[in-house]
Amino acid sequence: MENNIYVEAAKKSSFYKHLFSSGVQPDWNDIPFTTKQQLREADPYELLGTSLSNVVTYHETSGTTGKPSSSWFSYSDIEVEAAVLNNSALAFTENDLILNRFPFAVALPAFLVYWAAQKVRAGFISADQWNEVAPIPRVLDIMEKTKPTVLTVGPTELMNLYYVAKKLNKPLPTERLRAIVVAGELVTPARKRYMEKCWGVPVYLFYGSTETGGIFVSCEEGHFHLTHPKITVEVVDEKGQPAGENVAGSCVISTAREGMPLLRYFNEDYIEIKPADSCSCGCSSPVLMHYGRKDDLLNIDGQEKSLYDIHEIVYSLSSVPFIWKLQQRDTELYFLAQYEEEVNIAAIQQELSTALGNEVTVEQTILVPADSLIPNKPAGKFYYIEKLESTHI
């Protein structure tokens, strides 16, 4: 059986034991999808696929769309996770110094980067985005002083760093920086080109999730190739049937990860699988195209526009805003944009309306106040002893 590796891993998880209780192994396409809601409702120990003595870390999803779900990683898993980054076109080496801006906490990406760095003896700087002692100005100072070769960060936070660097007249890229790794949000070709133009170095995309672990790092051409040895990806149509190549549909992922195996996990992403020759990098594995979430699809006068389509339009504008939001108010479209320089709003409105095939109203606004990105001082320790001069008493 082609997918036996995933079935055998799942049999070790009590979450899936009901599938095999009869002793008869179901046909692959008869195995029901694992849903996000099921993972949210499951007891963490139901999902565990190995003994607790083999566990290296426990993680949870953010919980922004509901109850967080659990994720376990074993000592064996981190070898595979490290290889996803180290065997990619990016390839950390012992000569790298990596500045990580991904949050630690119970999130996953920072750990993936750390495991990969440790494996090749690369240097590692923790500058956690959610850590109050590492605000953006301090991170930029650290980059100037230490000259990291790789920056790992979320796409929106990457542009926050760029925006503050411009405000503080700090030159980019910093000395020795050779690459940036982004994860956690959709990055289309136009958005990737825009980030590379701003930062002056190649940007690599890292696809995965807390539930599945790291899955793919983009090649030199910016594509995700299906090369992970313990993951298989399916595309299914609205009826849940296999869609095949060159057809967009819902993403279904199976993983043989020891810590937490998943069978036919319906992750709600909207994807397409294309043949290997659709990419010029030379890799012989098929290409996964990520179009965002099904929930992000906009119906504009009967025409569906994915988040991918919208990003391609916005990041190809003659003037790209620092941050933006597209609102659909009943049948009308509004583009909320924060620009840090004077722009021709009428021209932007015309570009968007033409590209979307519908009239768009552009509203200039403040979505992210500058003060929130440039705090007066970083958070620090609480001091139990305080000495005041007499004038303060």
Provide the residue ranges of all domains of the chain, joining segments of one domain with +.
4-294, 317-373
Q: Which residues pair with 365 in a beta bridge?
A: none
pLDDT given for residue 391 in this prediction: 61
Per DSSP, the residues of 51-80 read -GGGEEEEEE---TTSS--EEEEEHHHHHH
The amino acid that residue 141 corresponds to is D
Is the pTM higher than 0.95? The answer reads no
- Tell me which CATH code domain 4-294 carries: 3.40.50.12780
Rounded distance, CA 216 to CA 281, Å?
15
Give, as one character, the DSSP assignment of residue 290. Answer: E
Question: Going along 218-319, which residue ranges are E strands?
Answer: 224-225, 231-236, 249-255, 262-274, 287-293, 298-300, 303-305
Count CB neighbours of 311 within 10 A: 22
pLDDT given for residue 217 in this prediction: 97
- For tokens 């607790």, what's the residue? 52
* Cβ partners under 8 Å of residue 167, min gap 6: 370, 374
Q: Give the pair of three-digit tokens for residue 356.
A: 């979307």
Per DSSP, the residues of 312-372 read HHHTTSSS--SEEEEEEETTEEEEEEE-SS---HHHHHHHHHHHHTS-EEEEE--SS-HHH
pLDDT given for residue 299 in this prediction: 87
pLDDT along the chain (393 residues), means of 10: 88 93 86 96 96 97 83 97 97 98 92 98 96 92 98 97 95 96 96 98 97 96 96 96 94 98 96 95 96 88 91 97 93 94 96 95 93 73 69 56
Q: Which of 211, 248, 221 is nearest to 106 (CA)?
A: 211
* Cβ partners under 8 Å of residue 79, min gap 6: 119
Backbone phi, psi, residue 190, to 5°: -65, -40
Q: Which of 98, 202, 107, 101 is nearest to 160 (CA)?
A: 101
